[in-house]
Amino acid sequence: MYAIVEIAGQQFKVVQDQKLFVHRLADKEGAKVSFDKVYLLDDGKKVTLGAPAITGASVEAKVVSHLKGDKVIVFKKKRRKGYRVKNGHRQALTELLIEKIQASGAKPKADSAKAAATKTEKKPATKKAAAKPAVKKPAAKKAVATDYNKLTVAQLKEEAKKKGIEGISSMKKADLIAALSK
């Protein structure tokens, strides 16, 4: 049985009792982790595809160790310019041991937490609404103070057209501001 699962933003083909190196996870060594984004399951007889993920499926793994990968040399050069840069990089990795692949019965962590949060939020909201009727205050009209200096010439010409000012096609920005502020 194997599965295609997303771990740390990358997809991996995993088999039970397989050791796997992934980008560094925040979990401590010896901790058990579960991954809910299972995209494909194959048990030898039947292949199950998710849309995009299979609901109820999960892959359980144990964090064996945190380590660094092999050094990668990044060398940049521009010929005849005297430009050479040499950098090295060692990727932070986590070694996982795949313990179990569950086809069904696993509950997604994020969905159950969201469902519990929405249930608790909805109950108090309905009690408050029933206990206290909502009273709306009339909205006061606010005078719109337009700062004409911040507008472009095209915007100033539109404002002048709205106010019915004539001869705006030949006016400069300063003249438009003066005409609009009257």
DSSP string, 45-93: S-EEE-SSS-TT-EEEEEEEEEEEEEEEEEEEEETTTTEEEEEEEEEEE
> How high is the pLDDT of residue 143?
45
> How high is the pLDDT of residue 9?
94
Rounded to the nearest angstrom, the gap between the alpha carbon of residue 171 and the centroid of all alpha carbons in its chain is 49
- Cα dihedral sign, 111-4-54-97: negative
What gap in Å lies between CA 30 and CA 159, rounded to an integer?
Answer: 68
In sequence order, the 6+-apart residues with CB closer than 8 A to the CB of 55 are 108
> How high is the pLDDT of residue 164?
84
> How high is the pLDDT of residue 142?
47
> How high is the pLDDT of residue 121?
55
> How high is the pLDDT of residue 34?
96
> How high is the pLDDT of residue 182?
75
Question: Per-residue confidence of the chain (182 residues) as pLDDT tens digits?
Answer: 999 999 999 999 999 999 999 999 999 999 999 999 999 999 889 999 999 999 999 999 999 999 999 999 999 999 999 999 999 999 999 999 999 999 886 665 655 445 555 555 555 555 555 566 666 666 654 444 567 887 888 888 888 888 888 888 788 888 888 888 87
> How high is the pLDDT of residue 122?
53
- The amino acid occupying position 104 is S
Helix (H) or strand (E) holding 157: helix 153-163
Tracing tokens 């909205």 back to the chain, one arrives at: 139
